[in-house]
Amino acid sequence: MKPIVGFGEYLFDYIDKNDMTDVEVYKKAQIDRRLFSKIRSGNDYQPKKSNIFRLIIGCEMDEKHAEELLKLAGFCFSSNDKRDVIVKYFIINSIFDVDRINLVLDYFGVKNI
């Protein structure tokens, strides 16, 4: 039986297994260092979906890992949500650029990540 893993544990295990540094991830994700530190410290941090998207981009996760990270935080990709569809498109196509994703979201009148 697989042990239950939380959002933060999964995220930081992924970062470690992929030889990334925290600094690389939070800079690429365009997340404030203090917020990243709050996530790192655990304390039952409940992330917003937009921050999870940013972390997925920062870690350059594939679709499978992105879905797992979302699930662990109580979210999923929704085919009924334009923002989710657009972000998922970028992930599937390995385009990991928060600014570029936000430009497309703006174009379609959707809230940025």
Give the up-direction half-sphere exposure of residue 19: CA atoms within 13 A in the CB hemisphere: 0
pLDDT digit string (tens) for 28-55? 999 999 999 999 887 677 899 999 999 9
Under 8 Å between Cβ of 77 and 53: no
Cα dihedral sign, 82-84-88-90? positive
Least confident residue range of 6-10, 13-17, 55-59: 6-10
Share of the chain above pLDDT 90, in %: 87
pLDDT higher than 90, residue 26: yes
Structure tokens given for 102:
């936000």
Q: What is the mean pLDDT of the chain?
A: 94
Whether pTM > 0.85 for this model: the answer is yes
